[in-house]
Structure 1
């Protein structure tokens, strides 16, 4: 969720609460939901909802205290979190026939809130230019390259196509890394960073395919 150095700092107080068995990668979990955003037959972005696990949320919710939703405290925290997400290119990649599609630099909207003992970040990931939908096929994925954070969709029910886009569908592919890759991830201590060339997070990243007739 956050830039690696920044979230290490923010999560320092919470990760020590984990048992030693939980110190292997990943250390943090974000349950994602995504809805297509469009104007007519053009895709303009993705509306994302990231629900953080309770341990990851603890520090944010502590900082928020008893502040009311929409207050300056929540706005400040949201801006801090969003700035770090932007610093990592939304932790996302988007392709049309293997050609990368660029994102706009700033989200048109975002906010942070509390859901019980969990923090929830919601924002619109804007495409730099509207993309045609009819007859097109796109893929996108969201992941932390270090696999410090496991960013996942629980199922295809976490993916939503607006009712006025009946010609489009979303499919979810969850990879199955081999035993050696899984063992490597489990071997990493909470203080370890995987070798950059391994691109560990990508090995576990889900891929969403958008197909429109």
Structure 2
């Protein structure tokens, strides 16, 4: 139930494989992210996401995929299942401009699931409902699981990609929060049976934020 966020079957495997110590602490699953700006005619149209799941989280998906060809129906079906769960959580993302939320399209124009060694990789374009101007603008966005069951992080600012044609105009910076000791202790004390509800917003306290500034 807790991993409705990515794929229920996926997390079941992770729980079974986790050690007793790991199973008693939040988060239970890890996703390493990269993002690239998508633009057209000096308008921001979306964000291209690249999510690499940890080995335990990936195990069930890769088992189901077996030796199937990367472009086979098997992989396409698995990609659709995972993407459906991501869409059910509004892409796990928020995007802000001048203090107002920017809406997303309901469906991505493209998505793809693949294998990277022992890890599963989900790639998709998160489309903005309305293209946003770049010149002279500042945006803030964040991607996180509200329950903090899944840790979703950028390793560094090297994971934030600005297309070459925008490098002189736009820059992205990463801010990683530093939760206090009490909040960290709370997360570590939770097990899968008493994890916080999404509306408790624990994940937001640990969520990184990306600032996009364009001249």
- Please tell me the TM-score bracket, short chain as reference: over 0.9
Aligned match of 1:188 in 176, 190, 199?
Answer: 190
CA distance in 2, matches of 1:136, 1:5: 31
CA distance in 1, matches of 2:111, 2:9: 23
1:85 paired with 2:89, answer no
Aligned CA RMSD, in angstroms, stands at 1.4
CA distance in 1, matches of 2:192, 2:38: 37
Spell out, residue by residue over 1:51-91, the C-alpha distance to the aligned partner (whole angstroms, 9 max, x if none).
00000000000000110111100000000000110000000
1:202 paired with 2:201, answer no
CA distance in 2, matches of 1:37, 1:5: 24
1:124 paired with 2:129, answer no
**1:196 Cα deviation after fit:** 4.6
Count of equivalent residues: 212
* Aligned equivalent of 1:7: 7
* Aligned equivalent of 2:18: 18
**1:197 Cα deviation after fit:** 4.6
**1:198 Cα deviation after fit:** 3.0
Report if the CA contact (8 A) 2:6-2:85 is conserved: yes
* Normalised TM-score (structure 2): 0.95
* Aligned equivalent of 1:72: 73
**SS in structure 2 opposite 1:190?**
coil
What are the residue-to-residue correspondences of 1:93-108 with 2, within 5 Å?
93-108=94-109
CA distance in 1, matches of 2:41, 2:11: 41
**1:6 Cα deviation after fit:** 6.8
* Aligned equivalent of 1:175: 177
CA distance in 2, matches of 1:209, 1:190: 32
**1:19 Cα deviation after fit:** 1.1
- Moved beyond 4 Å, runs of 4+: none
